[in-house]
A and B are shown apart, each in its own frame.
Chain A
Amino acid sequence: MNRFDLTSRLIAKLKNEEAVVGGIGNTNFDLWAAGRRPQNFYMLGSMGLAFPIALGVALAQPNRRVFALEGDGSLLMQLGSLSTIATLAPKNLTMVVMDNGVYQITGAQPTPGATVADIVAIAAASGLGNSAWAADEEDFERLIELSMSASAPTLIGVRIDEKPGVGTTRRDPVQIRERFMHGLGVREPL
């Protein structure tokens, strides 16, 4: 599977101004390339915080579906956040882990977990019972749809290729944050 393809499939399914938080690097580059929705948030640093940021959005707006896209290397930095999310259990949160086993953007060096760790098993053992690997693209779409009416937070693991992202997010943090807040109905443009 491919990150940009899966991200595009996800975005195509969104009809209700769902929030999408894209983790550092290729994850948010492909989110940017898949369509610049006002409800997209692009992380330009703070590696590993896509899920915690999405958790905050989900707690602030319990009636809005919130998606978070994160790489396996990033998630390995904040495995503890899986337990926090499992404890708070926001049912409006869907997490996607793009697992290629490498730090693609820094030269495709293998992550420490590449050959030994199972991200979905880690998530399940952290208390996120509603965690599964997507077998293929169609299964990914099915799991995304299931998550939208789930009674617990969902984590979906996808094994992706090592291709880089296809776009480059414009690195303007204030505009990104402000537009996201407009997209979430928190603020009106000036």
Chain B
Amino acid sequence: MAVAEVPTSPQAAQDNSAQQQTWHGIVLQSLKRNEISLVPYVPDRVLTTLIKNLHADPFFTTFPTAREEEAVGIVTGAWMGGRRGAVLMQTSGFATLATVLASLAIPYQIPLIMFVSERGTLGEFNYGQSLVCRTMRPVLDSLAMEHHTATRLDEFEFIVDRSIKQAITTQAPVALILSPLLTGGKVFDK
């Protein structure tokens, strides 16, 4: 066996495995590793495979909610009852959350973990989506919320895993924005 084929360090092994992984596989494994088992969502095309795989894995209780606020309420109750959760949504769904972030998640110190599939940029075809996208980071910044925009697969596991752990230990919400650079996004295909 050629030396180059043998992982020479844990870092190299991690790099190798990251190359073989998908972004949605990293999300699923990071949730599992951090014992996050309750995953309500309002769906998005980009999240389709992740949602399908969460449903297929008996570790997770995953289900749709009618609104993103509702999902935030559910994982808040679950956290207080000792069970960890995360919420999946699209940019336009995040735009409905300002009041619940400001009146529930932040003041009650809830480690609300949000994965937001980013619409509205890098090839958006719906003007409304591009406008609502512009409200997202100003809202996050005005509430001084932790947020990261994930663009690269090789950094993604680090960002997700560290952000989950920080949210839990500091009892503060975090938004992980999934850029089209990471996911491919949604493009106009008639």
Contacts and interface: CB of A to CB of B under 8 A. Distances in A.
Interface in A164-185: 173-174, 176-177, 180-181, 184-185
A55 B79 CA distance: 11
A44 B76 CA distance: 14
Given A56-B81, A181-B80, A173 B107 contact: yes
A54 interface: yes
A84 B69 contact: no
A109 interface: no
Contact of B80 (A51, A55, A57): A57
Interface residues of A, number: 39
Interface string A148-173: 00000000000000000000000001
A78 B67 contact: yes
B77 interface: yes
A57 B81 contact: yes
Given A81-B65, A81-B66, A56 B78 contact: yes
Q: Report, as a range, how many residues of chain B touch the other chain.
A: 20 to 34
Contacts of A176: 108
A57 B100 contact: no
A84 B38 CA distance: 14
A61 interface: yes
Contacts, number: 127
Nearest to B81: A60
Given A46-B104, A57-B81, A81-B65, A177 B74 contact: no
B182 to A, nearest CB: 29
A84 B73 contact: no
Instruction: From B64, B102, B104, name the one whose CB has the most chain A CB atoms within 10 angstroms.
Output: B104
A160 to B, nearest CB: 23
A48 B69 contact: yes
B82 to A, nearest CB: 4
16 contacts: A46-B73, A49-B70, A49-B76, A49-B104, A52-B71, A56-B73, A56-B85, A57-B78, A80-B67, A81-B73, A83-B66, A173-B107, A177-B80, A177-B109, A180-B80, A181-B80
The 9 closest A-B pairs by CB, nearest first: A45-B103, A80-B66, A56-B77, A60-B81, A52-B73, A60-B83, A49-B73, A56-B78, A53-B77
